[in-house]
Structure 1
Amino acid sequence: TTKLRFFYNGKYLCLRGGNEHRLLRFSQFTRETATADGKERACYIYTEQGSKNHGGGMGQLHLDNKVVRHFEVPEAGSRDYVHILDQYFEKVPREAIEKDNFYVRPLSSIVEGKPWFTSVPIGKNKLSSMVKDMCAAGSIEGNKTNHSLRSFGVTTMFKKSVPEKLIQERSGH
């Protein structure tokens, strides 16, 4: 679902608010196979194309874009981020990928063997309230925003003893 992709994109890519989600593009993702932990694994490479801290311009020409590699975790099954992205790329129409807006509207009915989505982008208001809506649907109290996913991602990495340098690279801080 869109909410699941939104959640994982915010958590794993450490995206800030709705604007970074709105500016997300299919072209920012590359899929390849690489070695991790001595095993060949599928991997998505996300390359940031500007953010709040890296808006572009002449003064930032020497800065590198944030690059996030996310390897498959087969034990996660259908909740594996690589699996979720694979399925999404498979179910969006070619036209949507050509238009290069990552979040597109789902179709109201699904036909086997056909795309599950339109090429129409999801609106910025819908994207900006996504976490708030998810929390309301799950009866989660408190002031949760799209930025909360980024905080959650950083906290999760910290608790799993990911080196601070890697956390900084992924989060942009």
Structure 2
Amino acid sequence: MRENGNTLNFMNEKDDRFIRFRRSLDAQMKFLTSKGYGSTVRQADPISRDQEERLWTSDVVGHESSETLLYGVFFYNCKLFGLRGRDEHHELDISQFEVGEDDIGKFIQFVERANKTFKGGLKHRNVDHKNIKHYVTTEDSDRNLVHLYTSYIGLIGDKDGKFYKRPIPGTLKFSKQNIGVNRFENLMKEMCNKAGLEGNFTNQSRKRTCATQLYQSGLDEQQIMSRTVQRSLNGV
């Protein structure tokens, strides 16, 4: 076109005549990138059941200190309730969690509130907010998640306020200070490095771990979507 004297610039964002072209091109580039064409970006790995066991046996997750309790509730908030983004974790409130027992057994319950993933507006009119009750099936005190959550919530001391508090190293005490949002950026990778796990563990590992282990447990895609808040089967 330039050789014929036409100097149109399709990529000029101020020219609205080609806005549909630019959107189509942008969408196709994102699609190809996500499929790995011309890209060396590695997908985040989920944490397997064996690696999860390693988190416990290496004392990265456990009841021994405030830090191991923090790692524990963080990991299981990801695995059980599908929490992923750093803002999602940062905004968690203690009042969103309940530890109890009913006719079925002991449970940990999480109730979602409005956040960046679920805003409750028009786009989410057909999406239910999470209200998940996870029943604990083992009585082993070293692996009992009810014990893990009860210990953590009891030690942070507040009935209201942010869920994550700063651990005081080498103790079973927590500071009154909340954990900053940037700390959640690398918390999963930090845990995995301490446990000596091999793999590419990033923020995305949180949701991939949740979806993978639910799938391996025999849940169908619709049930998995209700926890991971993906809105399409392709996403799952």
TM-score normalised by the chain length of structure 2: 0.61
Identity %: 30
The match for 2:188 is: 131
Q: For residues 164 and 118 of structure 2, what CA distance do their matches in structure 1 show?
A: 22
The count of residues paired between Structure 1 and Structure 2 equals: 162
Q: Which of 129, 132, 137 is 1:73 aligned to?
A: 137
Q: Which moved more, 1:140-149 or 1:59-68?
A: 59-68
TM-score normalised by the chain length of structure 1: 0.80
Q: For residues 117 and 138 of structure 1, what CA distance do their matches in structure 2 show?
A: 22
Q: Deviations over 1:109-143 (max 9, x none)?
A: 64xxxx72122111112121101212332343443
Q: For residues 131 and 32 of structure 1, what CA distance do their matches in structure 2 show?
A: 27
Find the structure with the greater CA-based Rg.
2
Structure 2, unpaired ranges of 5+: 1-67, 231-236
Q: Which of 60, 64, 86 is 2:128 aligned to?
A: 64
Q: Which moved more, 1:56-65 or 1:152-161?
A: 56-65
Q: Which of 81, 84, 100 is 2:148 aligned to?
A: 84
The match for 2:71 is: 3
Q: Which of 80, 93, 114 is 1:50 aligned to?
A: 114
Q: For residue 141 of structure 2, what is the amino acid of its counterpart?
A: G
Q: For residues 34 and 168 of structure 1, what CA distance do their matches in structure 2 show?
A: 26
Note the 1:94-133 alignment, pairs <5 A. 94=158, 97-98=159-160, 100-108=161-169, 110=171, 116-133=173-190
Tell whether the 8 Å contact from 1:17 to 1:145 is kept in structure 2 after alignment. no
Q: For residues 145 and 123 of structure 2, what CA distance do their matches in structure 1 show?
A: 35
Mark the CA change 1:124 to 1:172 in structure 2 (over 3 Å): closer, same or farther.
same
Provide the alpha-carbon RMSD of the alignment: 2.3
Q: For residues 61 and 154 of structure 1, what CA distance do their matches in structure 2 show?
A: 23
SS of the residue 2:200 aligns to: coil
Tell whether the 8 Å contact from 2:99 to 2:149 is kept in structure 1 after alignment. no
- Answer 1 or 2: which has greater strand percent: 1
